[in-house]
């Protein structure tokens, strides 16, 4: 497995999000990536730093040009963190800082390079340590700590060469990824997440959202009860989700990976103990045997992050313990 990271994520420096009108410390911190890197190095994985910025043309196939332009201009104009009401945001969880645009582009570039490596056919899996995360970013909108949809960028790129399936196991429904591919039958989107009735993103992630037009049947949501999900019930649902992915017979697989299902996540939590990520990863690796991009999404327990990543990687790679 090849691991990709960029140091440009450090340019994205929000201190607060607004929660019910109250400024609350921003949980999507740079230390998250440091912790995953530590786990990768501990396991002796090949880690590569990516320094270039992506081709905007590919990003414009996923996002509207006007939205990308807005992000760029706004970040160039501000001198401090700001959540500015606009048509390009509909929550209070995507603050802009002067470096946010550059960080978001560098994050997306990790997804682009992951796609290149998969197409070159040398790696079974590439793990892109994306920060900021991406799955809440829609074509024309930021939100939920996300600005550019990294998973959608790699899926879009791979879709030119074959059938793609995205499995999203972040705690939150990936409303952005769903929206971007909702009308399409060449990119399947499957998500396992907490029931959005009471959890962000509230307005999407329900079972009746199955796609539109020729995309009908190519979007599948598996919401789970927030309070009563256990590792066992989670794995049962994951198995069903993986079955949907297998039936699609993808040529390429994209895993949107969030560690916010961890039982002690500060903003989310879905009952998964740290060692549970070994079971989750083992089940995924055992079910899907095509070139895979693992795209980092959320997860906010920085203290346990290294252990969560280590457990996931051990399970995925079939390492013992
Ligand atoms: C990528 C990802 O996981 N995004 C998650 C965005 C969810 N943010 C909204 C939840 C805000 C909760 N703030 C916690 C404050 C508790 N006092
Ligand atoms: Zn999340």
Q: pLDDT, tens digit, for every residue of 177-220?
A: 999 999 999 999 999 999 999 999 999 999 999 999 999 999 99
Residue 321 predicted with pLDDT over 80: no
Task: For residues 278-299, give the mean pLDDT.
Answer: 98
Q: How far is the CA of 141 from the centre of ligand 1 (A)?
A: 17
- Whole-number Å distance between alpha carbons of 3 and 39: 11
What CA–CA distances, in Å, run from 123 to 165, 200, 234, 292? 17, 34, 29, 8
| Nearest residue to 140 via CA among 152, 157, 130, 128 | 152
Q: How far is the CA of 168 from the centre of ligand 2 (A)?
A: 10
What percentage of the chain reaches a pLDDT higher than 90? 96
Task: For residues 298-315, give the mean pLDDT.
Answer: 98
pLDDT in tens, 122-165: 889 999 999 999 999 999 999 999 999 999 999 999 999 999 99
At residue 21 the predicted structure's pLDDT band, cuts being 50, 70 and 90, is: confident
At residue 261 the predicted structure's pLDDT band, cuts being 50, 70 and 90, is: very high
- Whole-number Å distance between alpha carbons of 237 and 235: 5
Per the model's pLDDT, the better-predicted residue between 321 and 299 turns out to be 299
Task: For residues 277-284, give the mean pLDDT.
Answer: 98
Kind of pairing, strands 2-5 and 46-49?
parallel
| Closest CA to ligand 1's atom 12 | 267
- Whole-number Å distance between alpha carbons of 229 and 138: 28
Query: Is the CB–ligand 1 distance for residue 299 below 6 Å?
Result: no
CB-CB neighbours of 44 under 10 Å: 8
- Whole-number Å distance between alpha carbons of 235 and 273: 12
Residue 87 predicted with pLDDT over 90: yes
- Ligand 1: nearest atom to the Cα of 298: 3
- Whole-number Å distance between alpha carbons of 281 and 284: 5
Q: How far is the CA of 135 from the centre of ligand 2 (A)?
A: 8
Can you give the pLDDT at residue 94? 96
Query: Is the CB–ligand 1 distance for residue 259 below 6 Å?
Result: no
Query: Is the CB–ligand 1 distance for residue 18 below 6 Å?
Result: no
| Closest CA to ligand 1's atom 2 | 298
Q: Which of 9, 63, 135, 136 is catalytic?
A: 136
Query: Is the CB–ligand 1 distance for residue 200 below 6 Å?
Result: yes
Task: For residues 36-62, give the mean pLDDT.
Answer: 97
Residue 269 predicted with pLDDT over 90: no
* Helix residue ranges, H only, the chain: 31-42, 56-59, 65-77, 100-120, 150-159, 175-181, 231-248, 276-287, 302-317
2 forms bridges with which residues in the sheet? 46, 126
Instruction: Return the SS3 of 96.
Output: strand
């Amino acid at each position: 497995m090849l691991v990709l990271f960029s140091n440009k994520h450090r340019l994205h420096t929000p201190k607060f999000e607004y929660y019910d009108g109250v400024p609350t410390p921003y949980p999507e911190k740079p230390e998250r990536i440091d912790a995953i890197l530590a786990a990768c190095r501990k396991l002796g994985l090949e880690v590569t730093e990516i320094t270039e910025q992506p081709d905007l043309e590919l990003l414009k196939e996923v996002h509207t040009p006007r939205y990308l332009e807005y992000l760029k201009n706004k970040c160039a104009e501000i001198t401090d963190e700001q959540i500015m009401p606009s048509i390009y945001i509909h929550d209070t969880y995507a603050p802009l800082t002067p470096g946010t645009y550059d960080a978001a582009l560098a994050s997306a570039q990790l997804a682009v390079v992951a796609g290149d490596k998969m197409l070159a056919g040398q790696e079974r899996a590439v793990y892109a340590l994306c920060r900021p995360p991406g799955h809440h970013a829609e074509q024309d909108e930021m939100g939920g700590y996300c600005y550019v949809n990294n998973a959608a960028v790699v899926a879009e790129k791979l879709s030119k060469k074959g059938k793609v399936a995205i499995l999203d196991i972040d705690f939150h429904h990936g409303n952005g990824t769903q929206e971007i591919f909702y009308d399409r039958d060449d990119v399947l989107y499957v998500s396992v997440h907490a029931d959005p009735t009471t959890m962000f993103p509230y307005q999407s992630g329900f079972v009746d959202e199955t796609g539109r037009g020729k995309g009908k049947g190519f979007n599948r949501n598996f919401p789970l009860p927030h309070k009563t999900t256990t590792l066992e019930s989670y794995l049962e649902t994951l198995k069903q989700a993986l079955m949907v992915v297998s039936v699609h017979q993808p040529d390429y697989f994209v895993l949107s990976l969030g560690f916010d299902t961890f039982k002690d996540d500060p903003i989310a939590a879905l009952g998964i103990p740290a060692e549970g990520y070994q079971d989750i990863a083992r089940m995924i690796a055992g079910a899907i045997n095509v070139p895979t991009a693992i795209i980092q999404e959320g997860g906010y327990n920085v203290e346990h992050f290294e252990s969560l990543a280590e457990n996931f990687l051990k399970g995925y790679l079939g390492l013992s313990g």
